[in-house]
Amino acid sequence: MHFGIREHGMGSAMNGMALFGSVIPYGGRSRPFRIIAAGDTACGVIACAGVVRFYARLDRAWRGRPTHQSVEHLAAMRAIPNLAVIRPCDAHETREAWRAALKRENGPTAFALSRQKVDVIDRKKYADARGLHKGAYVLAEAATKTGKPANRG
């Protein structure tokens, strides 16, 4: 469904579809516009609606243009009880995040994505992306001054 610039209407419709059942609705918006749709997000959290929301933004902080910074938006979203917020680091983690969102039945999931090109991590060299389901995981051990991985034992 095309909603145009109707953030609150889109979120409310997605909540209704999720609560009616037989569908897992998902929708996307720019992270700074999550403020406009705070009401529908709150309703989805309270009603435990299994909605998936994609919040994307070009991360301009790293490019020297301070418009629409979203660092504070991410922290504010993570402070909302029962809203699972996932910021995947590559395509492999995005796949696992989607799996986690589809399995979640007790509330909405928010993806914080970037519109910038992101490198894909070599999962043969680094940890498997399924570690995302733990909430956090060690991607790689830090090297010591000798160049060998640090002993965690």
By annotation, the residues acting in catalysis are: 7
Residues in a beta bridge with 55: 29, 112
Burial of 21 (0-12, 13-18, 19+ CB in 10 A): exposed
Spatial separation of the C-alpha atoms in residues 124 and 121, rounded to whole Å: 9
* Ramachandran category for residue 150: left, alpha or beta (phi over 0 → left; psi -120 to 50 → alpha): beta
